[in-house]
Amino acid sequence: MSQATIDADTRPGALGVGAEHPDYLRADSGLRSWLLTKDHKRIALMFYVGVILFLGLGGTFALVLRTELLTPEQTFIDANTYNQMFTLHGITMVWLFMIPAIPTVFGNFVLPIMLGAKDLAFPRVNLASFYVYVLSAIILLGAMLAGGADTGWTFYVPYSTTSPTAVTWMGIGIFVNGISSIMTSVNFIVTTHTLRAKGLSWHRMPLFVWASYGTSIIILFATPVLGMSLLLIAIDHTFGLSLFNPRFGGDPVLFQHLFWFYSHPAVYIMILPAFGVISEVVCSFSHNKPASYRAIAYSSLGIAFVGFFTWGHHMFVAGLSEFDAGVFGALSMFVAIFSAIKVFTWVATLRGGSISFATPMLYFLWFLFLFVFGGMTGVAVATQSLDVHWHDTYFVVAHFHFIMVGGTLTAFLAAAHYWFPKMFGRLYDERVGLLTSVAVFIGFVFTFLPQFLLGNGGMPRRYFTYPERYQWLNVLSTGGAWLLGAGLILALGNLLVALKWGKRAGPNPWGSRSFEWITASPPSKHNFEETPEIERSAYEYTLSEEVARERAKAR
C-alpha cells in the first residue's frame, strides 16, 4: 500500500501503511547509524535513554534527601551534603528530565508522524539539539563532581554569588541546556507551520501538536531570559561584579524577577506537553472525540500566554511591593481558569465513550486527581495572605511536586505506555503495567500528602533536622518515596522486558483514530511512502448504529 489517504472510512492494512519496508529500528545498523542519524524517531530514542538516566539520578538524590529526613537529627549525611543534594535534585529533575522529557522523546517521535511529515523541518538541528543536551549534561555532571552547588535550583542572590561551590559551571550548564530547548522548539514551530500534510488544517491536528506548539512558544520567549540571568550570576560569581548588590545600586529582588520570568512559565513548559499526552490518552481510551476540541486547543495557548503574567507570586514575601503583589496575585488566577477548562473537557470526553482501562488510562486518572489537587493548592498559595503563612514551608514543596511530578511524571508514564507499541512494535504486560501504576500513585500520595501537613504545621523546607513532633509525617513521606521509586523501577522493568518478549502489537493496538497510528508500528524509516492526504479530524470515532442507539437510550 503506497497511497495513504486518511479518511473516516478507509482503514489501514493489517500491518499499517509502509509496513512492507524495514522499520526505523532495522533500516540501518551500526553505532554510526545511530550517532549520526537524522531520523527524528532515532533521535527521540537517544533522548529517551538520556532523560531516563537523569530521572534515575534525580530520583536517587531525592531518596538520599528523604532517607536523611527519616529521623529528626542527622541520619547519615551532614548539613552541607544535604544542601548539595536538594540543589542537585532540583537542577537534574527540572533541566535534564522534566523540561526535555515529553517534547524531546514523544514530541520528537510522534509530532512529525501526526502531521503526516517524513521528519521534522530541520533534521540536522534536531540531532544537534541532542548533542547540545548531552554537552549541557556533561557540564552539569562535571560541576556536580567539582564541588556541586548548594544554592537551591533557584540560584537566589546574594548567596549564589558568594557560595564556594561550582555555581558558575552550573549556570553555564543550564545556559547550554536552554540552547538545546530552543533548537527543539524552533523545529516544532516550523514543522507545524510548514510540514502539515495536505488537508490537515489547524483544527484537524491532534491535540498533542497544539500542546507542543504552545510549549515551543513559551520556550522561545522565556529561555533567553533565564540564560541571561544565569550568565549574570556566573559573571558575578567569577569576577565579583556585585551586579545585584544594593551597596552598588543593585537590587537582589531584581534577580528574582529575572529568574521567575522564565521559571514560572517553565512550569508550563513542563505541564503543557503533559496536557497534550493526556488529551491523546483520554480520547484514545474512551474511543470518543474530545468534548470540545477548540476548548482544549485554545486553552493550551491561553495558558502559554497568561503564564507569562504571573511570575511575581513567587516573591510575595521577598520584598515585592504591595502593588505588584496585588497585580501578580490577581493575574495568577487566570491560569486556574484555563486549567479548569481542560480538566472539565477531559472529564466530559469520557461521557458516552467506550472506556477501556489500560495502563495509560489509569495514569490519566492519577493525573486528574494529582493535577487538580496540586492546582487547587496552587490557587491557595497564589493568594497573598495564605502564602505568607505557607511560604518556604513543605506546603509549597508538596504543591509544586503535585503539579510537576504528579502532573508531568504521570503523563510521561502514560505516554511511555501509550506510545510503547508505536515506538517498538510490542505490547507490554498490561497486568504488571496496572500494578506498577497503582504503586506509583500510592507511593506518590504517601510521599507528598504528609508534606502538606508538615508545611501547614510550620516545618520549613531545606532544613536537614527538625523537631521530633514532625517525625511520623516524615517517616510516612520517606516510606512513600521508596515505594514511588520501586514503582518507577518496576514500570521501567516491565517496558524493558516487553522490548524483547512483548507480544507483537500490530499497527494500532488501542484502536485510536489519531494519525500516528495509521503508519506501521514501529514506523518505517520515512514514516510514509507518500505524503498522506488527510480528510478527517484526528478524533473521528464512528460508532456502529446499534451501539449509538443503545448509548442514546442510556443518556
Footprint of another protein on this chain (CB under 8 A)? 221, 225, 247-249, 251, 253-254, 257-258, 261, 308-309, 312, 319-324, 327-328
Question: 30 or 249, CB closer to another protein?
Answer: 249
CB of 117 to another protein, least distance (A): 19
Question: 305 or 482, CB closer to another protein?
Answer: 305
CB of 262 to another protein, least distance (A): 10
Sign of CA dihedral 390, 395, 401, 407: negative
Chain-centroid distance of CA 526 in Å reads 27
Question: 110 or 304, CB closer to another protein?
Answer: 304
CB of 334 to another protein, least distance (A): 14
Q: Which three cell numbers stand for residue 194?
A: 510548514
CB of 319 to another protein, least distance (A): 7
Cβ(417)–Cβ(359) below 8 Å: yes
Question: 252 or 460, CB closer to another protein?
Answer: 252
Residue whose C-alpha is closest to residue 129's, from 109, 106, 100, 102: 100
Q: How far is CA 263 from CA 202, 256, 266, 294, 438, in A?
A: 29, 10, 5, 28, 31
Question: 265 or 443, CB closer to another protein?
Answer: 265
CB of 303 to another protein, least distance (A): 16
CB of 257 to another protein, least distance (A): 4
- DSSP code for 534: E
Question: 60 or 245, CB closer to another protein?
Answer: 245
Question: 153 or 261, CB closer to another protein?
Answer: 261
Residue whose C-alpha is closest to residue 105's, from 453, 418, 493, 433: 418
Question: 309 or 482, CB closer to another protein?
Answer: 309
Cβ(477)–Cβ(513) below 8 Å: no
CB of 237 to another protein, least distance (A): 22
Q: What are phi and psi of 519, to 5 degrees?
A: -75, 175
Q: For residues 230 and 244, give the distance between their C-alpha atoms in angstroms, rounded to a whole number.
A: 12
CB of 132 to another protein, least distance (A): 22
CB of 205 to another protein, least distance (A): 17
Q: For residues 338 and 325, give the distance between their C-alpha atoms in angstroms, rounded to a whole number.
A: 21
Question: 47 or 338, CB closer to another protein?
Answer: 338
CB of 152 to another protein, least distance (A): 21
Question: 45 or 253, CB closer to another protein?
Answer: 253
Q: For residues 259 and 263, give the distance between their C-alpha atoms in angstroms, rounded to a whole number.
A: 6
Task: Count how many residues are written for the chain.
Answer: 555
91-94 contacts, C-beta under 8 A, 24 or more apart: 91/140, 91/149, 91/153, 91/170, 91/174, 92/54, 92/57, 92/58, 92/61, 92/140, 93/54, 93/55, 93/58, 93/62, 93/404, 94/153, 94/266, 94/270
- The three-state secondary structure class of 426 is strand
- Cis before residue 12, ω within 30 degrees of 0? no
